[in-house]
Amino acid sequence: MEKVLKITQEGDPILRKKSEAVKNPENPEVKKLITDMVVTMKRASGIGLAAPQVGHSLRIFTVNIEDKIYVFINPEIKDISEEKIPFEEGCLSVQKIWGSVIRPKKLTIKALNENGKKVKIRAKGLLARVIQHEMDHLNGTLFIDKAEKLSKIEENK
């Protein structure tokens, strides 16, 4: 059965650890984790989710953009564009805070997908943005470390 996982919040040390490579993507536990991550990401209306955010220090993240789900296992980023752009980011692990982060506009990602097959995608726009944000999670970095200025969303009274 699919399970909605608890999303770790800033302050949890797992969000600051460098995640480990997945040794066997075919492992049923890895497959189950990925299934649960996709369900959890959708339930939270998130566009990206990294394994450390659900308590697993593994190099896996999922992306949900325009009804397309991407799974990246042991990702590597290549061919980063020199051109950089600012964009407002938020994070399921850092609630009610937003901030503009400057990042390269385009990149290529090489990884394994949910079936353990090699994939290579040239990404730009929102996909490139989310890939870089999630890749940071695998290295223990949060967008609040990079944002120029953070804004707090006030609760409605």
Which residue's C-beta sits nearest to Ni ion?
91
Applying CB under 5 A, the residues found at the interface with Ni ion are 91
Q: How far is the CB of 16 from Ni ion (least distance, A)?
A: 13
Cβ proximity to Ni ion: between 91 and 109 the closer is: 91
Beta strands in the chain (DSSP E): 48-50, 60-65, 68-78, 84-91, 94-104, 107-112, 118-123, 150-152
Helix (H, G, I), strand (E, B) or coil at 85: strand
Q: Is-catalytic flag, 88?
A: no
Q: How far is the CB of 61 from Ni ion (least distance, A)?
A: 9
d(CA 79, CA 120): 12
Helix (H, G, I), strand (E, B) or coil at 51: helix
Q: How far is the CB of 96 from Ni ion (least distance, A)?
A: 13
- Contacts of residue 12, defined as CB under 8 A and 6 or more positions apart, other chains included, come to 93
Cβ proximity to Ni ion: between 91 and 101 the closer is: 91
Cβ proximity to Ni ion: between 91 and 131 the closer is: 91
d(CA 1, CA 157): 39
Cβ proximity to Ni ion: between 63 and 91 the closer is: 91
Q: How far is the CB of 133 from Ni ion (least distance, A)?
A: 5
10, 66, 134, 154: the catalytic one is: 134
Active site residues: 134
